[in-house]
Every structure is written in C-alpha cells, then in structure tokens.
A and B are shown apart, each in its own frame.
Chain A
Amino acid sequence: MKKGKEWIKGLWKEHPVFRMLLGMCPTLAVTTSVINAIFMGVAVIFVLFFSSLIVSLIRKLVPPQVRIAVYTVIIASFVTIVDIYFKANFPQMSKALGPYVPLIIVNCIILGRCEAFASKNRLIPSLIDALSIGIGFFWGLVVLGAIREILGTGRVLGIKILSASYYNPMVVMILPAGAFLVLGGLVAIMNKLEGR
C-alpha cells in the first residue's frame, strides 16, 4: 500500500512539471515537437533511475559535507553516457536537442530526488520513486510537446491533425513565447482539477 502511494505521487499528485515546476529548462526548450519530448523524457528517466540506484547504494559511504558534489558527479557521468549514445546512434536527434542533453546534469528534478529521497532510502523504494517521477516527467513533456506541435504546425509525429484548409498554424506556439503560455495554461488547468 505504501509503495503504491509512492508510485502515484510522481505521476499526478506531486507531478514534477505541473505541480512542482521542476526541471523547467528542458521542459520548455525541447517540447517544440513530440519526438524531441520523447527522447528527452527517455534520457531523463535513464539518468534519474541509474543515479538513484548509485546514490541509494552508496548513501552510507558519502560524508554529508560533500554529498551534493558527489551526486552531481554521478549524475554528470550518466548524462555523458546518454549524450555519447545519442550522438552515435541518433545524430539527428542529438543535434535537435543540442546542449539540453548535457543540461540534464543541472536538472533540479534529478538532484532533488537524489538528495530528498535516494540518499535516505533503501534501494527498491528509491528505484520506484525514480521511475514514478521519471514517468511523470515523461508524460508531462509529451503532453506539452503534443499541444505545441499541433497548435504550431497542425501535425504531430508527421501525421496531419488540423488541415491547413481551416486551420492557420499559430507559429508562436513553437517559439519560446508559446512554451511559457502553454505551460502557464496547463498549470492553471492542473490547479483547477486538484481544486486547491
């Protein structure tokens, strides 16, 4: 039961993007299209999962004074792995995401989970927590990317949704300003649903 609650927390109740507003820079920067959002989401899940794993395993060995530095180096190593993997296998995507893949290092979600959860809990709960937050982040990115891509270009993943005959694409939605506006609207909808 308790574990079940840990799961749901990251997926909805404490959603990293819409409720906690963490990890804003990749959220807004790469969600110009769904495919970018998927790649970024997968990268974050990978880094979050493996950093939580390591942090949880070594939590008794790290002196508290240097823990942030240690966590950052662990995260940076996994981000380097992802970055090199993307560069080798998906050069197109690597170019599209640009410096936002290495910027996962300073994503507050990952350091926040390592510091707040994985450093204090045993291995299995830490991994469940990492997965739930990661998947929550993933669907947040995909929703944001889908809205922006549909409104901005009328198509999603190359499939036409809104025909040009009756819909004039709002280019502003795939520009930076649109990212702020869409996310602001989604946060408001989330507030309404939660009835805070």
Chain B
Amino acid sequence: MKELFQIFISTVLIHNFVLSYFLGLCPFLGVSGKEKSALGMGLAVIFVMTLSSSVSWLIYHFILVKLGLVFLAYVVFILVIASLVQIVEMFVRRYSPALFKALGIYLPLITTNCAILGCVLFMIARDYHFWAAVVFGFSGGVGFLLVLLIMAGIREELNYADVPWVFKGASISLITAGLLALTFMGFSGLLTS
C-alpha cells in the first residue's frame, strides 16, 4: 500500500509525465487553450492510460515473455493502445456528443500521444508488479490532467496579456511550461528515496 501511494505521489507531482518526461506535449500545447476541452482530454487520457497500462502488463508478462516474443513488444503495445482509443472514441460519441465535438481531432490523436506509450514503456522498464502498473497508469493520467488544467487556466489569462509578437503562440506556451516545470521541481523533496 505504501509503495502504491509513493508511486502515485511521485508520478503526479515529482516526475510528472508532461513536465519532467515531456510526454504528451502535442495535446498539451494544442488543446489546453480552453479549460473545458482540457478536462475532457485529461479524463480520456486517464481512462486510456490506466487501461492500456494494465492490459499491456498482462499481455507482456503472460504472452510475450512466456512465448519469447519480447522483440514484438513495441508493435503489440501500439496495437493495444490503438484499439483501446477506438473503444473510448465510440463510447464518447455514443454518450456525450457535445464532448465528442469539443475534443474533435484530439481523441484519435491519443493513439499517437506519447504519454500513453511512454507510460507503458516506463512500466515495463521499471519491472512493476500488476497493481503498481495499474496505479502508475492512473496516476500518470491524473498528473497529465492536473498540468493540462493549470496550463489551460494560465493560457486563458495569457489571452489578455500583452505578449511581444515574436513570442506569440507556441513560444510563450513553451516558456510558460518551463516556468511551470521549475515550480514543480519544488515538489522533489516530498519523497526521500
């Protein structure tokens, strides 16, 4: 239990996927203009990430390792993620057309969201046991949502700020993200390893 809690805190705050591993930057810079779509995107990522982390763990340990097919891991992982995204997309389209409209192109883009595949790869590389893998996936998503929401709030304020034209757009977003990363470094003392 203690170990799982440590994984949660460390993944959400200290080694945040976006700010310290640079995973999932495309949606981070693209979708985070509005808080509502940021929330939808973040929730979709939490869902897909938890699922893909646990499903990939099962497939990796019970199929690939047993059959000696570890070299196929990347191809298998990307297929698992792509099919999960498809399922989530159908689900959202059926039950929340408004959300589906708001997310637009970003939902299928989760397939190529590096955060999902990155989460699976880190989970394998660190040799987590099953429940750790589930918690790792979930907290990765939570960390992503948290940073996406903070960024969306800042971006809404930035619309009213007087930014020099050379910094407009992507540049100021990146610098904001840099400052945010500096702030999050303050959390690094939370856990003593």
- A residues sitting closer than 8 Å to B (CB atoms) are 21-22, 24-25, 27-29, 68-69, 72-73, 76-77, 79-80, 83-84, 98-99, 102-103, 105-108, 111, 172, 175-181, 183-185, 187-189, 191-192
CB–CB A106/B181 < 8 A:
no
Given A73-B79, A175-B185, A191-B171, A103 and B26 touching (CB < 8 A)? no
CB–CB A191/B29 < 8 A:
no
Residues in A with CB closer than 8 Å to B20 are 176
From B36-44, B47-55, B111-119, B132-140, give the one contacting chain A.
B111-119
20 contacts between A and B (CB under 8 A): A24-B29, A25-B114, A27-B22, A28-B22, A29-B21, A69-B79, A72-B82, A72-B111, A99-B125, A103-B114, A106-B114, A172-B182, A177-B19, A179-B22, A180-B174, A180-B175, A180-B177, A183-B174, A185-B171, A189-B166
- B residues sitting closer than 8 Å to A (CB atoms) are 19-26, 29, 71-72, 74-75, 78-79, 82, 111-114, 116-118, 121-122, 125, 165-175, 177-179, 181-182, 185
CB–CB B117/A103 < 8 A:
yes
A68-B82, A177-B179, A188-B166 are known; give 4 further A-B pairs, CB within 8 A. Answer: A29-B22, A73-B79, A106-B113, A185-B175
CB–CB A73/B78 < 8 A:
yes
CB–CB A103/B75 < 8 A:
no
Contact of A68 among B22, B111, B114, B172 (CB under 8 A): B111
Inter-chain CA distance A102–B19, complex, in Å, is 20
Given A180-B178, A191-B171, A192-B166, A25 and B25 touching (CB < 8 A)? yes
Nearest B residue to A74 by beta-carbon distance? B75
CB–CB B175/A184 < 8 A:
yes
Q: Is the interface of A mostly helix, strand, loop or mixed?
A: helix
Residues in A with CB closer than 8 Å to B167 are 184, 188, 191
Nearest A residue to B17 by beta-carbon distance? A25
Contact of B181 among A22, A27, A177 (CB under 8 A): A177
Inter-chain CA distance A176–B118, complex, in Å, is 16
CB–CB B118/A103 < 8 A:
yes
Inter-chain CA distance A179–B25, complex, in Å, is 13
Residues in B with CB closer than 8 Å to A191 are 165-169, 171
Nearest B residue to A189 by beta-carbon distance? B166
